Amino acid sequence: SPWRWGLLPLSPVPLLPERGGRLFFSTSCARCSKNRRLRQKRIISERKLTRYFVDHRKVRVVGGQGGGGGHSFYSEPRKIFGGPDGGNGGDGGHVILKADQQVKSLSSVLPFYQGFQGERGGRKNCYGANGASLYVKVPVGTLVKEDGKVVADLTQHGEEYVAAYGGAGGKGNRFFLSNENRAPTFFTPGEPGQERLLHLELKTTAHAGLVGFPNVGKSSLLRAISRARPAVAAYPFTTLNPHVGIVQYQDYEQVSVADIPGLIKGAHQNRGLGMSFLRHIERCHFLLYVVDLSVPQPWIQLEDLKYELEQYQKGLSERPCVVIGNKIDLAESRIHLPLLKEQIGDRVIALSALKGDNLEELFLHLRELYDTYVKTEQSRGQSPAKW
């Protein structure tokens, strides 16, 4: 019986007539069709969504090995002793660092690169082909250091720096032909390529930089105005790596904003995170000072921040800026806001990064700073940085 064979399901299902003593299920019935449920995407944790800037990378670069010289003697039926005809080997390929504005981090840079090897010299005085150059794309604003000294500063798109030269190709036995030696049998191998240990250091080339002390809400503000997802927590020094968010406007202009890790007093003396992150502020075209309005005398924060920037680099605190008073949703912040405006002469934008209050004013003023920067660069005959 079908029940004994195990062909009948427990629930009533339309069956086709018997064929060869067996019952067949209907494939046209919706109840009999295979239940193909869509797989739900795994929920990615907030920690995995956090993407860090890789701003340091040690790279060992080795130029390509030169091809060896050829060793052969020309011979044909009516010219048996044609003499040596081994060609020279090809030169090894270089390793070249090339600045590319599409690359934003050093995370794609590998710790080791080696150039392509040159080909060996052939018969009939044929020279070996040179090894192709190996191009390594790095972000715009990459410093190349060797033994602590800056050897290159790639600040423009398409700018190149030869990190390691390829070795010269070897000489074939034809090269050693002379009146004293009419049949040279020796040749030289290719020379090894140049080997160097370089330290790549990225200075963030964002348009705007968020500058402030720890736990003032810089990361929360970057999350509110862009799609960047830096870590946010209720303790200081949450951000240990710089993050960059993109603010997009309706006319397709994009303004990059960098979340610089929090500074402390004495940062110019390499205290706290110190010099390792002050260099990211150095190449920001305008600054966004973030102060905590909930603390007493918030203008002291602004004075200390400008002092640290000025001690690090003279004139850095004089760049175009705006003061952002965060945490306006708190009651004590509304009391401190008028006092802050009286103490400083810069424009103050009071907002709440947590609740998203008054972000429109920040967007408008950020665009004004960006347009001013673009006009200034165009008046100098330079192209402004684009993201």
The predicted-structure confidence for 327-364, as pLDDT tens digits, reads as follows 888 888 888 888 888 888 778 889 988 888 888 999 99
Task: Kindly give, in sequence order, each residue whose CB lies less than 8 Å from that of residue 18, ignoring residues fewer than 6 positions away.
Answer: none
**Phi/psi at 124 (5° precision):** 55, 40
What pLDDT does 263 receive?
63
Kind of pairing between the strands at 112-114 and 160-164: unpaired
* CATH of region 54-203, choose from 3.40.50.1580, 3.20.20.210, 3.30.930.10, 2.70.210.12: 2.70.210.12
d(CA 245, CA 256): 6
What pLDDT does 237 receive?
47
End-to-end CA distance of the chain: 73
Residue 276 predicted with pLDDT over 70: no
**Bridge partner residues of 112 (DSSP):** 60
Q: Take residue 315 and report the two structure tokens written for it.
A: 């004139």
d(CA 268, CA 311): 6
Residue 165 predicted with pLDDT over 90: yes
Residue 78 predicted with pLDDT over 80: no
Read off the pLDDT of each residue in 293-297 and give the average, rounded to a whole number.
Answer: 86
Show me where the domains of the chain are located: 54-203, 208-380
d(CA 337, CA 326): 10
Least confident interval from 85-94, 194-203, 342-351, 366-375: 342-351
d(CA 159, CA 253): 24
Kind of pairing between the strands at 286-292 and 134-138: unpaired
Phi-psi region at 4: left, alpha or beta (left = phi > 0; alpha = psi -120 to 50): alpha
Q: Take residue 52 and report the two structure tokens written for it.
A: 């860090």
* Confidence band of 233 (pLDDT split at 50, 70, 90): low
Residue 373 predicted with pLDDT over 70: yes
Is CATH 3.30.379.10 the classification given to domain 208-380? no
Mean pLDDT of the residues in the chain: 79
Asked whether the CA dihedral 153, 281, 230, 57 is positive or negative, the reply is positive
Residue 312 predicted with pLDDT over 50: yes
Q: Is 317 in contact with 310 (CB distance < 8 Å)?
A: yes
What pLDDT does 214 receive?
80
Apex CA 43: angle with CA 38 and CA 44, to 5°? 135
Return the amino acid letter for 340.
Answer: L
What pLDDT does 241 receive?
61
* Confidence band of 148 (pLDDT split at 50, 70, 90): confident
Read off the pLDDT of each residue in 227-256 and give the average, rounded to a whole number.
Answer: 72
Q: Tens digits of per-residue pLDDT, 85-125? A: 889 999 999 999 999 988 878 888 999 999 999 999 988 88
What pLDDT does 144 receive?
93
* Confidence band of 59 (pLDDT split at 50, 70, 90): very high
**Phi/psi at 156 (5° precision):** -120, 150
CA 115 to chain centre: 22
